[in-house]
Structure 1
Amino acid sequence: MLERLSAADARRWAVITRAAFAARRAEIDALNVFPVPDGDTGTNLYLTFDGALDAVRTEQEGLGILGEASLEQECTALARAMLLTARGNSGVILSQLVRGFAEAIADAGEGGADGPVVAAALTRASERGWRAVTHPVEGTILSVARAAADAAAGEPSLAAVTKAALRGASEALERTTEQLPALRRAGVVDAGGAGYVLLLEALARVAHEEGPNGAGLTAPFLDDPSLRRRAGWAHPGSGVHPTEGEGATPSSEDAVAPGGPAFEVMYLLADTDEERVARLTSTLDALGDSLLVVGGPDLWNVHVHVDDAGAAVEAGVEAGRPYRIKVTHFAEQTARPPASDLAVVACAAGPGLAAVFAGAGAHTVDSGPGHRASAGQLLEAARRAHALSVILLPNDKDTLMAAEAASAAAAQDGLDLHVVRSRTAVQGLAALAVFDPQASVARNLAAMSSSASATRHGAVTVAGKEALTSAGPCQPGDVLGVVGGDIVVVGTDLREVAEEVVRRLLSSGGELVTVVSGEDAPEGLADGLARWLAGERREVEVSLIDGGQPLYHLLLGVE
């Protein structure tokens, strides 16, 4: 058994973790609460880690230190790379956990990381993860990370620390079923937490090796049936599987709507520390919404929407030295930059959607279930737009955190990148419809955010597995109607379910119905729905789009 973790051990840990994510990603993706296989937590974890390892290798080759970097260099490089390769909420949160771990390793200095150092690193990782989310909740990857850190604290050796952390995390993962109502109803565990258990399992394998070169690898925990059962890796049909939940999600909509905060405040913060940044975050959270405080340890990026801009800047002065301060008044901003100074980047899940977004003047990024864009890809797309300011449309709820990470990284590079929190393609289409390239960034943000948030959205798809939904039980092959992300109809006929979803979307009014056909939609489904609408609601205009998106036969929007 290892006494301390060296740079070579850390590299081996990373490789084993990547292999574990690769082996289990399809299992996590397929076994989620939502009975449609659109959850890609496992894929996001794998691609986040895989992309980061490739980036670290490329960087070290360029510096001529490949295979020779110190433990601190290995951990720091991986943490930095993961921020830009992060995909989905799970990938973003995992990047912050790795960052916290790297910070503790760096503080420990050279000589390798023994048990107490690794225990401290797990604690720092947990703390960093919880701070990354403005309103975190129990029953997620964050709960699992904290339990691992608590269990490892006080253990004397590296072997004891890894064993205790793994068992603590596995038991916490099992508890997630009872901590979140959605998990409890489905009888499943949190998928992001299950991924973190895999990472700790890989660490335990490294720590319990009997030889420095991998000889005699015993993997006592990887093959422990009781541990695997608690971690959610039971056989199919056992009822214990990861859900699509990817940890806590931001609680506020980044929308500039009537009655919302009047100012956007952004600045960089230097000459501060973790404690003062924590107080700043708490202060700004009470002042407004759309809060994002990322960075560290020596430089932080702050973004918030508030009514009292002076108080937001004053809070920064109390926390450190704010600079590059930018205050935008949404209602009174009248500057009109040239068209070339402002661009839109839109995520598209299918070729038809990409063509529509491109036709409206947006730069597109291929991103959807199973292949969601990373923060780095979104940032690169914004750079390729060659504009002074860029508005980003993620068009997917599981890409929002990656979009926000890209926005924070862009600010540090001097690129003005803003996110309109479009959670579906139809919200993105509504936002792009009001985009005015001759108007200011602030006016466009206000109009586009308001249009996106005002668009009611639904979908029609087919169940891929048996599940209990808000509308009752469903079986594989049943047609599901979704409104606002919640299953409200379980039926057998695509057309009938689509009509019911549209009725519900129009129950509180509407003038325009957008129907986006998916790659699996039968011929005539969208046209038939349009004819039905013409007869039922003659006052409503219908827009038909051949989107080509996977999994969802129809995406529906009402404005």
Structure 2
Amino acid sequence: MPGAGPTPEEALQLLDANAMRRWAVLIRSAYAARRAEIDALNVFPVPDGDTGTNLFLTVDGAIERTLAEDDSPTAGELLERFAAALLWTARGNSGVILSQLARGFGEVCRDAVSVDAAALAAGLARADERAWHAVTDPKEGTILSVSRAAAAAAATAVGDGLYAVSAAALEAARTALARTPEQLPVLARAGVVDAGGAGLVILIECLERLCAGDDGRVVLSLGPTDRRSRFWPDPATAAGAVVRPLDSDAVAGGEGDTGPEYEVMYLLDAPDEDAVEALRSRLVELGDSVLVVGGDGQWNVHCHVDDAGAAVEAGIEAGRPHRIRVTRLRTERGLDHEGAAAAPDESHGRALRERGGGSGIVACAAGAGLADVFRAAGAVVLDSGPRRRASTGALIDAVRKQHHRGVSGVVILPNDAETELAAAAAARAVADEGIDAHVIRSRTAVQGIAALAVFEPGAPVSANVLAMQSAASATRHGAVTVAYRSALTSGGPCEAGDVLGVVDGDIVIVGSDQAAVGREVVHRLLASGGELLTVVIGADAPAGLAAVVSAAARDEHRGVEVSQIYGGQPVYSVLLGVE
């Protein structure tokens, strides 16, 4: 933590390109020192949280892409380059949000030779706007709360100079971070603050140190293993806490929900961002699956609605829609009169592929076995899992590779909630190249496998998106894993080494035997029915575990079909999906 403020002689008055480089390098050093600690700010006692790792890899990759260049850009030019590189190297949701923060900062400062106090405050404000805009369902108690508080405080200190702006932003960011457990009960129950918010506080502290006149060699007072720092409460305060997942990102719709009748997509020329924001709100009123992305006057609009005409009219009010496409969804579900999947027309699929049509898949896989499953279906597969999640750039390259095979559209299966924003950013990026890419909200590998089962290569991408998202959303999922730290979960208290049973993202069983916990998870998943159980075997699964859970399904729930797949994924001994 910095001590007294700098003297007037020590403090910087402007941030030039060299200062921006030092800031970036200082951020990378701080993230390298704190990545494990930020990773540990995980509401689950399972070692799959990697916010710190994602932030470090995102910044490290962007530095390698931009700061080694030999030319002499202005501060604004360097910021724009760095923001573009951050989007390419972004890993995990936190990395994508960081790239949007940088994008907003760069937009304000793009023409600046150097950044003064007013530009810094304006840049932080625009960065905050971009970050909030990047998240479909923004929540208080996250990195977004920290960003908003920092931006608001910075604006009040402009008259006192560059250092005062950075110091005000840092103080407000720390206060906002300390409040995140009050805003999100899941954080309070786990006894931690928001990991993304902690990462942003570290970034702003690097800015404050730089503005104070530190030359970038200063080691910040961020002890790499002290969890009882100013950033988060003592773990002892988590006693009595119950760890439960956030439900804000749950997929909408349930059994029997047929959803809106039409999918509407169009490009929109609209220079007025307020009008675009009004369009987004109007489309949310009309239906769901709303996506309005873009910038600089050009937007890509997607929604599912019952009134397609109203959706197009809303676009006309905002600007000039073109390349309008309206698809009737309820007649493209590929279901026969009994609700069974209709058999694919192979000859039609072959004809489409021969003339350059149909759909392709890009899939993320956390293990070699899972990679083989998706690759066998023709997917371009990316290695992606805890501590090594796929970057936006890697996803963009994979989509391009699939597109070059001649398909007319590409479906992206992130198979992980932490990779959803990176996948969405990749889809937006390739849209500028005329590539039609869509993200399926597959938050686990078993949901991705369920989506894969209804994929038809020869079908239009819009039909595949509907069928695959429906299959993924309808798949109940569970897992067996081992705790790496103590916590109090929905299934009771656990200690390091205890076996945990997860059902639909919630830890509901704590035991000592993986076979017994696996049987109970299967029982709970099948309690409300099901026809197919998919068992994905992890890299560290004990011998016989898959056989035990499969037998439990067959013995207790007659008629259930069981499919076993060697996934090779880390962390989870088995992943289970019920369709």
Q: TM-score by structure 1 length?
A: 0.91
Tell me, yes or no, if the aligned pair for 1:192 and 1:247 is still in contact at 8 Å.
no
Deviation at 1:180, TM superposition (A): 0.5
Deviation at 1:320, TM superposition (A): 2.1
Residue number among 81, 86, 91 corresponding to 2:90 in the alignment: 86
Tell me, yes or no, if the aligned pair for 1:142 and 1:247 is still in contact at 8 Å.
no
Q: How many residues get paired?
A: 543
Amino acid at match of 2:259: G
User: Match for residue 520 of structure 2?
Assistant: 500
2:179 maps to 1:175: yes
User: Match for residue 32 of structure 1?
Assistant: 42
Residue pairs, 1:65-80, within 5 angstroms: 66-80=70-84
Return the alpha-carbon distance in structure 1 between the equivalents of residues 67 and 328 of structure 2: 44
Deviation at 1:18, TM superposition (A): 1.6
SS in 1 for 2:48: coil
Residue number among 340, 349, 352 corresponding to 1:338 in the alignment: 352
Deviation at 1:538, TM superposition (A): 3.2
Deviation at 1:251, TM superposition (A): 6.2
Sort the Cα spacing of 1:537 and 1:451 in 2 relative to 1 into closer, same or farther, 3 A.
Answer: same
2:286 maps to 1:275: no
User: Match for residue 116 of structure 1?
Assistant: 118
Return the alpha-carbon distance in structure 2 between the equivalents of residues 519 and 88 of structure 1: 23
User: Match for residue 204 of structure 1?
Assistant: 208
Provide the aligned C-alpha RMSD in A: 2.9
Tell me, yes or no, if the aligned pair for 1:222 and 1:228 is still in contact at 8 Å.
no
Deviations 1:274-325 (A, max 9, x none): 2222222222222222222222233222222222222222222222223333
Return the alpha-carbon distance in structure 2 between the equivalents of residues 410 and 84 of structure 1: 12
User: Match for residue 458 of structure 1?
Assistant: 478
Residue pairs, 1:214-233, within 5 angstroms: 214=215, 229-232=229-232
Name whichever of 481-490 and 307-316 sits farther off: 307-316
User: Match for residue 160 of structure 1?
Assistant: 164
User: Match for residue 413 of structure 2?
Assistant: 393
User: Match for residue 14 of structure 1?
Assistant: 24
User: Match for residue 397 of structure 2?
Assistant: 380
Deviations 1:166-225 (A, max 9, x none): 110011000001110101111210000001001101111211116xxx28x6678768x9
Return the alpha-carbon distance in structure 1 between the equivalents of residues 227 and 377 of structure 2: 52
User: Match for residue 540 of structure 1?
Assistant: 560
Tell me, yes or no, if the aligned pair for 1:84 and 1:375 is still in contact at 8 Å.
yes
Amino acid at match of 2:38: I
Residue number among 518, 524, 547 corresponding to 1:527 in the alignment: 547
User: Match for residue 530 of structure 2?
Assistant: 510
Runs of at least 4 residues off by over 3 Å: 217-223, 225-228, 234-240, 243-258, 331-337
Residue number among 92, 99, 107 corresponding to 1:103 in the alignment: 107
Amino acid at match of 2:119: V
Return the alpha-carbon distance in structure 1 between the equivalents of residues 244 and 102 of structure 2: 20
SS in 2 for 1:509: coil
Tell me, yes or no, if the aligned pair for 2:186 and 2:244 is still in contact at 8 Å.
no
Tell me, yes or no, if the aligned pair for 2:245 and 2:506 is still in contact at 8 Å.
no
Amino acid at match of 1:22: A
Return the alpha-carbon distance in structure 2 between the equivalents of residues 17 and 23 of structure 1: 10
SS in 2 for 1:259: coil
Deviation at 1:237, TM superposition (A): 6.8
Deviation at 1:67, TM superposition (A): 4.5
Q: TM-score by structure 2 length?
A: 0.88
Sort the Cα spacing of 1:182 and 1:461 in 2 relative to 1 into closer, same or farther, 3 A.
Answer: same
2:447 maps to 1:427: yes
Deviations 1:20-55 (A, max 9, x none): 122211222234120001011111112222222233
2:75 maps to 1:44: no
Deviations 1:419-478 (A, max 9, x none): 121111111111111112222222222221111111110000000000111111110000
SS in 1 for 2:301: strand
Return the alpha-carbon distance in structure 1 between the equivalents of residues 417 and 39 of structure 2: 16
Amino acid at match of 2:310: A
User: Match for residue 371 of structure 1?
Assistant: 388
Percent sequence identity is: 56
SS in 2 for 1:548: coil
Residue pairs, 1:262-411, within 5 angstroms: 262-332=261-331, 338-339=352-353, 341=357, 342-385=359-402, 386=405, 387-411=407-431
User: Match for residue 456 of structure 2?
Assistant: 436
Amino acid at match of 1:139: G
Deviations 1:363-392 (A, max 9, x none): 211111111112221121111122221111
Deviation at 1:235, TM superposition (A): 8.3
Deviation at 1:227, TM superposition (A): 13
